[in-house]
Structure 1
Amino acid sequence: MTRTTNRLPFGLQFGDRILTDADFAHDLALVADSIDQLTDTLEVLKEEAAKVGLKINWLKTKIMAIEPPGPVSHPDTITVCGTLVEVVKNFTYLGSVLSNDGSVDEEVCSRISKASSIVGRLNSLWRMPHISRRTKMRIYNASVSSVLLYAAETWPLKSTILKMIDVCQTKQLRRIEGFRWDDFVSNARLLTLTSQVPFSVQIAQRSLRWFGHLLRMPTSTPARIVYDFDPKAHGWSRPRGRPRTRWKDSLDNFLVMANIAVDEAPHLAADRSAWRSQVAKLSTPHPMRQEP
């Protein structure tokens, strides 16, 4: 990648910094300002990879354009190095579904589907009377919660998505406990009985813990560069229409719930113990139905 960037400048500019790629093992995610710039970069990458005996798998290569609000059309395929490369609206990278509109709807639905599938495959275990509830909940947290909440600390979430995730959790717990709809067991009682924390609360806590790590990072790290970037200061303007939900918007709500002022967050995050203690006091993101 270093040889590629030296030969052909590309990437997305954030102020005086340019982000060119996100790499993990043999997976590469190139960032470009336009389709033309991206195709030129892929051609150079192919040439540099061939020099060290590597080849690009064009069947696994996808192109995704980040869409502004409003109707915008792109071709279904783009020719790169004589090969047709598919243009997609979302694709899976490092286990997470990325969408061209920045939403996590597809990712959340995928996570719920995978978690529900695991609950179904373990159905015989849930029905075993000689296995204690405590053991079942430990298995649930290890095999189901971990799958559904994978990378949830990075999701920009709306209240409807949070509610959908909580509904999924209570349905799963009712199935594990063997409760029917006519048993009239409230969500509050169910969570108390199983010693579970609502997924929406867990997501809020995870987001704030990750935010604390982010604030302690050096300002030169890519994640910190993106977070600190001020679009208005560099001539960017918000497009017409309703603004999309950003990770910062979700974070602001979680900070309010944890009684943390935005301007005081950097100072508080510098003390890991104090930050951890404050995050632990987080209240539920939306009211749960209480016992009558």
Structure 2
Amino acid sequence: MLYDVPHNNSGVEIKYRLDGGIFKLARHSSQRNTNTMNVSELQYADDNAAVAHTQAELQESVDNFHAAYTCFGLTVNKVKTKILAQPRPGENTPSTSSKEIENRLQAGHTAYGRLSTRVFKNKDLTTHTKMMVYKTIIVSTLLYACETWTLYSRDLKKLEQFHQKK
């Protein structure tokens, strides 16, 4: 059934070597011992990432996913679907990541405030227990959906300040 879905050559071109020279980037410009492949999708368990250079390529890839999922009786959850646009080097695009990071920082502060008296100011709990609660609850609340963020140095400063305050 998957062979019925049309394939194209869109995606991101990746050059790789298998001869041990992976960290010598100058060797990637060589045509000898260098392999090339187009990556148009990345899948893991129930997560799927489509890679494209243009909006039209992305739409075509999403349409192909929809066709393949329909063959198996699956659907794409539109509420959980996220789009990450990474600008080309040197291009500036309006970013919603900063607003999203601000929302996550606020959620982290709220979570810390709710646990402050019961956990962090409780003298009966060990530092180890408090650190485990911090890492489990606060950090996971703070970094929820962080894989979709485009981080800038100002955003990293805000995240570091959050950790230093707590």
Pairwise TM-score range, normalised by the shorter structure: 0.5 to 0.7
Is the 2:11–2:38 contact (alpha carbons within 8 Å) kept by the matching residues of 1?
A: yes
TM-score normalised to the size of structure 2? 0.58
Residue of structure 2 equivalent to 1:9: 9
The question of 1:122 aligning with 2:142 is answered no
1:7 aligned counterpart, secondary structure:
coil
The question of 1:164 aligning with 2:158 is answered yes
Q: Deviations over 1:127-176 (max 9, x none)?
A: 33444555434433443345546779x98662x4444334323322xxxx
* Distance change in 2, residues 1:63/1:139 (3 Å): closer
- Distance between the aligned counterparts of 1:23 and 1:45, measured in 2? 11
The question of 1:66 aligning with 2:101 is answered no
- Distance between the aligned counterparts of 1:156 and 1:8, measured in 2? 31
Where structure 2 has 5 or more consecutive residues not aligned to the other structure, the ranges are: 16-35
The question of 1:112 aligning with 2:105 is answered yes
Deviating more after overlay: 29-38 vs 120-129: 120-129
* Distance change in 2, residues 1:106/1:53 (3 Å): same
Is the 1:4–1:41 contact (alpha carbons within 8 Å) kept by the matching residues of 2?
A: no
Where structure 1 has 5 or more consecutive residues not aligned to the other structure, the ranges are: 73-88, 91-98, 100-104, 173-292
Is the 1:4–1:45 contact (alpha carbons within 8 Å) kept by the matching residues of 2?
A: no
Find the partner of 1:143 among 137, 146, 150.
137
Alignment of 1:71-86 (within 5 A): none
CA RMSD of aligned residues (A): 3.8
Tell me which amino acid in the other structure corresponds to 2:105: I
Tell me which amino acid in the other structure corresponds to 1:48: A
Residue of structure 2 equivalent to 1:50: 70
- Distance between the aligned counterparts of 2:42 and 2:70, measured in 1? 20
Is the 2:14–2:37 contact (alpha carbons within 8 Å) kept by the matching residues of 1?
A: yes
Identity percentage over the alignment?
Answer: 23
Relative contact order (C-alpha < 8 Å, sep 6+): which is higher?
Answer: 2
Tell me which amino acid in the other structure corresponds to 2:11: G
The size of the alignment, in residue pairs, is 140
The question of 1:29 aligning with 2:49 is answered yes
